Structure 1
Amino acid sequence: MIAESWKRSVASGVDAGQHGSRKISSEEDVNRRRQLSAQLREAAFQAFGRLAPHLKNANTILILADELGVIIDAIGDPAVMESGQDIHLEIGGVWSEGTIGTNGIGTALKTGQPTYVHAAEHFVEGVQAWTCAGVPIRDPIDQSVIGVVDLSGPPQIFREHNLALVMAAAREIEIALAEQQRRDRTLLLEAFLMSDHGRASDSVILLDKTGRIQFRRGLDDMLFSRPDKLAVGRKLLPEVEDVAGLDLGKILPPELKPRGLERLNFEGTYRGAALFLNSDPVRQTARQQPRRIKPRSGVAESEVVIVGTAPKMLDAIELAERAAAANVTVLIQGETGVGKELFARLVHSRVPGKDAPYVTVNCAAIARDLIGSDLFGYVEGAFTGAARGGRPGKFELADGGVLCLDEIGDMPIEMQPYLLRALEQRAVYRIGDSKRRPVDVRLVAMTNRDLRNEITNGKFRRDLFYRIGVVTIEVPPLRERGEDLLLLIEHFCHLFARETDRPPLQFTEEAIAHLRNYRWPGNVRELRNVVQRLFVLTTDSLVTGEDLPPEIRDDFSDRRAEDDSITNILSGNSGDLESIEACAIRRALVAEKGNLTRVAAVLGISRPTLYRKLKQYHIERR
Structure 2
Amino acid sequence: MKREIGPNQMKIDALPARASLATGQMALSNIDYDERATMRAWESFLADEPKCARDPVHPSHVRSLIHDSWYRSATGGINAQGIEAPLSSDRDEIEYLTRANAELLSAARRSFASLGQLLDGTGAMLVLADSDGVLIDAIGDKKTLHDGMDIHLAIGGKWNEDAVGTNGIGTALWTGEPTFVHAAEHFCAGIKSWTCAGAPIRDPLDGKIIGVVDLSGYSPIFRPHNTALVAATARQIEKALAEQQQEQRTRLLEAFISSAPSYRRKDGLVIVDHRGRAIFCNNVPDGETTEMMDGPMEPGRGRWLMNLPSSGSEADLARALPAHLRSCHITPLKLDGDLRGAALVFPSVPAVSSAAVLHREVNKHLQDAVAMIVGESEALQAAIDVACRVARSGSVPSLLVEGETGVGKELFARLVHAGSRRTANDPFIAMNCGAISRDLFGSELFGHVAGAFTGASREGKPGVFELANGGVLSLDEIGELPLEIQPFLLRVLEERVVHRIGDSRGRPVDVRLVASTNRDLKQEIAAGRFRRDLYYRIGAVSITVPPLRERGEDVLLLIEHFNRQIATAAGEEPLEFSHEALEALLAYGWPGNVRELKNLIGRLHVLTRGRDVRLHDLPEEITASGSGSEAGSNSSAATPQDGGTLVEAERQAMKKALAAEGGNLSRVARRLGISRPTLYRKLEQYGIRRGFL
| TM-score between the two structures when normalised by the length of structure 1 | 0.52
Within 5 A, what are the aligned runs for 1:116-515?
134-136=202-204, 157=227, 164-174=235-245, 240=311, 305-324=372-391, 325=393, 326-354=395-423, 355-515=425-585
Conservation of the 8 A alpha-carbon contact between 1:60 and 1:151: no
How far did 1:432 drift? Answer: 1.8
8 Å CA contact 1:409, 1:460 repeated in 2: yes
Find the aligned partners of 1:213 and 1:299 in 2 and give their Cα distance: 22
Kindly, what percent of the aligned residue pairs are identical? 41
Matched-pair contact (CA < 8 Å) for 2:400–2:543: yes
Decide whether the 8 Å contact of 2:402 with 2:543 is kept in 1.
Answer: yes
Confirm or deny: 8 A CA contact 1:406 1:446 kept in the other structure: yes
Match of 1:197 in 2: none
Between the aligned partners of 1:42 and 1:136, the Cα distance in structure 2 is 15
Q: Which amino acid aligns with 1:497?
A: A
Q: Is the 8 A contact 1:52 1:75 kept in 2?
A: no
Shift of 1:302: 7.9
CA distance 1:352–1:299, change in 2 (3 Å): closer
**In structure 1, distance between residues paired with 2:201 and 2:338:** 36
The 5 Å alignment of 1:558-577 reads none
How far apart are 1:350 and its partner, in Å?
2.5
Q: Match of 2:608?
A: 538
Q: Which has the larger radius of gyration?
A: 2
CA contact (8 A) 1:149 1:170 kept: no
Tell me how far 1:549 sits from its aligned partner.
Answer: 2.5
Deviation at 1:471, TM superposition (A): 1.9
Cα displacement (A) at 1:321: 2.6
Check conservation: 1:333, 1:446, Cα contact below 8 A: yes
After superposition, the C-alpha distances for 1:593-614 in whole angstroms (9 at most, x for unaligned) are xxxxxxxxxxxxxxxxxxxxxx
The 3-state SS of whatever aligns with 1:383 is coil
Distance 2:112 2:401 in 1: 35
Judging changes above 3 Å, is the alpha-carbon distance between structure 1 residues 84 and 58 closer, same or farther for their aligned structure 2 residues? farther
The 3-state SS of whatever aligns with 2:598 is helix
Aligned-pair CA distance for 1:451: 2.0
In the superposition, relative to structure 1, how do residues 393 and 118 fare at CA in structure 2: closer, same or farther (>3 Å)? farther
Q: Retained in 1: the 8 A contact 2:583–2:627?
A: no
CA, structure 1 residues 550+430, in 2 after alignment: closer, same or farther (shift >3 Å)?
Answer: same
| Counterpart secondary structure, 1:315 | helix
Report the RMSD for the aligned CA atoms in angstroms. Answer: 5.8
Q: How far apart are the structure 2 equivalents of 1:330 and 1:316?
A: 12
Tell me the distance in 2 between the aligned counterparts of 1:164 and 1:475.
41
Query: Distance in 2 between the 1:147 and 1:544 partners?
Result: 74
Residues 44, 433 of structure 1: alpha-carbon distance in 2 compared, 3 angstrom cutoff: closer
| Structure 2 residue aligned with 1:265 | none
> Residues 537-556 of structure 1: matches in 2 within 5 Å?
537-538=607-608, 540-556=610-626
Residues 312/299 of structure 1: CA separation in 2 closer, same or farther (3 Å cut): closer
Counterpart Cα distance in 1 of 2:590 and 2:109: 46
Q: 1:169 to 1:448 in 2, by over 3 A?
A: same
2:596 matched to 1:526? yes
CA 1:76/1:134 → structure 2, altered by over 3 Å: closer, same or farther?
farther
Aligned to 1:571: none
In structure 1, what is the Cα distance between the partners aligned to 2:337 and 2:366?
49
Structure 1: gaps spanning 5 or more residues: 1-18, 20-29, 88-102, 104-116, 120-129, 138-144, 182-207, 248-268, 273-292, 561-622
Contact 2:449 2:502 in 1 (8 A): yes
- Specify every segment of 5 or more residues in structure 2 that has no aligned partner in the other structure, as ranges: 1-71, 73-92, 140-152, 164-175, 180-197, 216-224, 275-307, 317-335, 340-359, 631-693
Which residue is equivalent to 1:611?
none
CA-CA distance at 1:162 after TM superposition = 6.6
Deviation string, structure 1 residues 431-467 (Cα, Å, up to 9, x no partner) = 2222222222222221111222323333223332232
Distance 1:118 1:41 in 2: 18
* 2-structure distance, mates of 1:351, 1:58: 57
Q: Secondary structure of the residue that 2:431 maps to in structure 1? A: strand
Whole-Å Cα distance in 2 between the matches of residues 299 and 228 of structure 1? 19
> CA 1:558/1:83 → structure 2, altered by over 3 Å: closer, same or farther?
farther
Task: Please say if residues 333 and 449 of structure 1, whose CA atoms lie closer than 8 Å, have aligned partners that are also in contact.
Answer: yes
Distance (whole Å) between structure 1 residues aligned to residue 585 and residue 476 of structure 2: 29
What whole-Å deviation, never above 9, does each CA across 1:160-180 have from its counterpart, x for those lacking one? 96775144312553588599x
SS in 2 for 1:405: strand
> Structure 1: which amino acid aligns with 2:578?
T
